Chains A and B, each alone.
Chain A
């Protein structure tokens, strides 16, 4: 190489940089956004969930040692609080949530609860101490099992919690949840597993995402997937869409607490904060990136979210009842969510070119 090589390279760099700066190209804020979302949104959400799981575990221990209406109500409130945070975070159900080396999400929330599995375990001689529960399958642990034990049957839940084995199981499930919630938080936390760095280091240091586009697409596509899952699993299955229109209330999420629709509203809250950000804590949203690239999705996303929420609010009865007594309202909610899904999966993804790529066989 001659001595002029680096000089030529530097000159070219200056020229290219000058051309880029003077030509109105949008700044690339994706890495900054990914960094903000992971460290200021996802990690705090999982931190909150871990703390709320601890509160829940304490409340479960309380109701077992002192089974009164008040302690039961406190335990239910603690479950609902943890549930709310968990459902808001559902839009981020990738990485440690689902990757084979972690798969923490299903251990916290595999639904609908398999009542027969739970009752079968309680009727068996298998130990239900924390160490044993930690080794059991996903249908024997997590938020849905806690919900079932706290709420079913509604009138006799307190009485049944006086059964020592039932209560031991409940507290063990609570303790197991704390472990998993801490594990999930640690997997994301910069102080421990630091999966957050996989996002911000995409295409550079990341082993999970080979390009920045892959990481950004993954997280943006999650919004549409979440809405699709709501329609298919949370509304469609209870409605009986898979069964020729015969309702299946037992397929509903959070069916014992009557929180099915609230779960969905929390899912939408998670999507909303990802898209719009949170001004109160100076958290940027995807809207900023869209705007920088000449696409204004604020009004459409806002109006579709509002329409979906309104349709969900119109389902007055618990979902388990509504699918039988007022299925048209449930269908209308699904239709409104369908509009939101298409906006996110077709318009937004198409405009920003953020379709997921799978391998080299994915192309023209």
Chain B
């Protein structure tokens, strides 16, 4: 090694050391504690909503067929009352996370239970459900119960030092949220969004009956303004939240934006997930300052022995973030318009980008004499499953393979399944989505490019 190379290595090591030092710096745990409480409470509400609205029955128990994720076909609903018990466990874990009882274990249990439920049915995929899975996993890996929790109270009663929370915990969660916003904005940089204001123009027009702002929402220029503002907002909000001078205004804007979206579109708890998550950008002591006005004693900031960041931990953290960077970019591996072929669409924070309508039916040929069956799948699926399948090629393929197995199980030989599938994207005239000459029943199911998707 030359002297120059040695100097570079030392320089790099010093950079790494400084980075480790910065990430390892002790932080007030109150901000993380407040986030855990709010996030846990929201998860409780979310589980109650599933129960109260009958979604456990509707999404998991009623369907006779489930659309699965590649590699997770083994994830099935529990029989009988099992799914209700599953959601009860999930609710208990959310409650424990909220109040900080066995916080990390509770976060992990919720992560496993929630992710399992989401993996059962692909038709119910939502980006914010994926975000919930990721955040609960991260909360299980960090001292999420270090403050404002029953865990902290117990430690104090036992005379133990408070758990340490270091900067990396905040940085990891902030980075996760920042990546979500960035990719949500990045995905909006497409001709439909920027040149045609679609699909916002169509969607906003449907709110023309809203009091006061309705007529305004139906105007084309507002759709363009909202499209550009939305993209700029997603791309820049993280920076504004990071900068202390703009943070307060950025958060106020964020609240207005997400409440507005919540009022206009049926997106469930998504807006509240984002409003709560953005508190992670506040100064870590914000709950202490807020509570000080209500005479709550300040938690002890003394550091315990846990939570130190090793080089390996740093590597794992960086690896996680690189993965979170790579997954939304995997669509680049597939030629064509990702909003059309949807290869690399999920888990990529591509939100509110498409207005699609579709129609699909299947032709099944069996035996050497080509006995022909036509399958109209609407009756065999729930309305949500049919709607999602009609515009998503991988789901069409999965249903074709389900038909193949069903026919084979009934004694048919040489089963071949062809899809007659049409869709429209963002107001375009319809076109074929699937090559009708390809036997989808025997096409391999994989992550490789699907040559049987007709390009837009």
Contact = CB atoms under 8 A, between A and B. Distances in A.
Nearest to A26: B218
Contact of B215 (A20, A345, A350, A355): A20
B456 interface: no
Given A241-B373, A245-B372, A346-B424, A359 B213 contact: no
Interface stretch (A11-19, A56-64, A104-112, A310-318): A11-19
A189 to B, nearest CB: 25
B219 A245 contact: no
B191 interface: no
Contacts of A25: 205, 208, 215-220, 222
A13 B213 CA distance: 8
A242 B373 contact: yes
Interface in A34-70: none
A27 B208 CA distance: 8
Nearest to B121: A361
Given A228-B376, A362-B384, A342 B202 contact: no
Contacts of A228: 376, 378
B58 A359 contact: yes
Interface stretch (B154-162, B165-173, B301-309, B350-358): B350-358
A362 B388 CA distance: 8
B355 A350 contact: yes
Interface string A90-125: 000000000000000000000000000000000000
B316 interface: no
B215 A21 contact: yes
A356 interface: yes
B387 A356 contact: yes
Interface in B364-394: 366, 371-374, 376, 378, 382-384, 387-388
Contact of B205 (A293, A356, A359, A363): A293
A20 B204 CA distance: 13
Residue in A19, A224, A360, A364 whose Cβ sees the most chain B Cβ within 10 Å: A364
Contact of B359 (A346, A352, A357, A362): A346
Nearest to A360: B268
A238 interface: no
Nearest to B385: A358
Interface centre among A16, A24, A231, A353 (most CB of B within 10 A): A353
Contacts of A27: 208
Nearest to A236: B374
Nearest to A343: B430
A349 interface: yes
B203 interface: yes
B320 interface: no
Given A342-B359, A359-B58, A361-B59, A347 B424 contact: yes
Interface residues of B, number: 63
Interface in B193-237: 199, 202-203, 205-209, 212-222
A170 B359 CA distance: 42
Contacts of B74: none
A154 B88 CA distance: 62
A17 B215 contact: yes
A213 interface: yes
A203 interface: yes
B208 A364 contact: no
A21 B222 CA distance: 13
A349 B265 CA distance: 18
A160 interface: no
A321 B269 CA distance: 56
A346 B351 contact: no
B78 interface: no
Given A244-B366, A244-B371, A350-B357, A231 B376 contact: yes
The CB with the most chain B CB atoms within 10 A, among A19, A26, A241, A346, is that of A346
B383 A28 contact: no
Interface residues of A, number: 51
Please report whether the interface of chain A is mostly helix, strand, loop or mixed according to DSSP.
helix
Contacts of A343: 430
A172 interface: no
A236 B206 contact: no
Contact of B202 (A24, A236, A352): A352
Contacts of A245: 371-373
Contacts of B217: 25
Interface string B119-140: 0000010110000000000000
Contact of B356 (A13, A236, A350): A350
Contacts of A30: 208-209
Nearest to B349: A364
Given A23-B221, A236-B374, A347-B429, A362 B350 contact: no
Interface string A225-264: 0001001100010000111110000000000000000000
A212 interface: yes
B124 A361 contact: yes
A306 interface: no
Contacts of B207: 213
A24 B223 CA distance: 12
Contact of B424 (A19, A20, A350, A356): A350
B455 interface: no
A304 interface: no
Nearest to A243: B373
A16 to B, nearest CB: 5
B205 A346 contact: no
B376 A346 contact: no
Contacts of B209: 28, 30-31, 203, 212
Contact of B266 (A342, A345, A363): A363
A165 B217 CA distance: 65
A203 B53 CA distance: 19
A23 B358 contact: no
Contacts of B44: none
B244 interface: no
A364 B358 contact: no
A204 to B, nearest CB: 9
A228 B360 CA distance: 11
B65 interface: no
Contacts of A241: 372-374
27 contacts: A13-B212, A16-B212, A16-B213, A19-B216, A23-B216, A23-B219, A23-B222, A25-B218, A27-B208, A28-B209, A30-B209, A212-B209, A231-B376, A346-B357, A346-B423, A350-B356, A353-B205, A356-B387, A357-B266, A358-B383, A358-B384, A359-B266, A360-B268, A363-B126, A363-B267, A363-B268, A364-B127
A-B pairs with lowest CB-CB distance, top 3:
A360-B268, A20-B215, A350-B424
Given A228-B378, A236-B374, 5 more contacts: A17-B215, A23-B219, A343-B430, A354-B206, A363-B265
